[in-house]
Amino acid sequence: MTLLSQPPAEVTQSILYSAELEARGVLGNCLQASIASALGLDLDAVPHFAAFTWWTPAVRLWLRGRGLDWRQAEGIPQGRSIVVGPTTRETGDHAVVGDGGEIAWDPHPSRSGLVKVDRAYVLEPWPTGEPSRCVCCGS
């Protein structure tokens, strides 16, 4: 069974947006929780990518280690995806899980979803389908 063949998990984000936290450089972890949910992983098994300056290549590199990749798509794709857009909370971009062309899970405790979809990243197997191996130890 692959990570994308199991149903999404319901992982709740543990860091919520606040202007005070953001001023100190602490960002909400909806992306981390959405990726964990989409792949059926625990929150702690996924890095807090929003804390990375170059988060998009960091996500792709991390996914590559699991034999996966993502590509940007329009709307909410039919496949498992991370969907990004504004919420009613007016906190900037928010990430949720898409599956089957609809929002499958909102990691925010309110579960209020998105006001609109700005972009989505559909998750798919890496072309070889194999996780990458460490060049040093082979694991």
Kindly give the interhelix angle for 30-39 and 55-64, rounded to the nearest 10 degrees: 20
In 25-130, beta strands by DSSP E: 68-73, 81-85, 94-99, 102-105, 119-125
- Record the pTM: 0.89
So what's the pLDDT on residue 127? 79
| pLDDT the model gives residue 11 | 98
> In the β-sheet with 81-85, what is the strand arrangement from edge to edge?
68-73, 119-125, 81-85, 94-99, 102-105
Instruction: Give CA–CA dist 44/47, Å, rounded.
Output: 7
Quick one: pLDDT band at residue 131, thresholds 50, 70, 90?
Answer: low
Mean pLDDT score, 61-80: 93
Q: Find all residues with CB under 8 Å of 47, minimum gap 6, and list them.
A: 32, 58, 62
Residue 15: closest CA among 46, 56, 60, 61: 46
**At 33, which helix (H) or strand (E)?**
helix 30-39
pLDDT value at residue 138 = 60
pLDDT above 70 for 30:
yes
Inform me whether the pLDDT recorded for 26 exceeds 60. yes
CA dihedral 19→23→25→30, nearest 10 degrees, is: 10
Look at residue 74 and tell me whether its pLDDT is greater than 70. Answer: yes
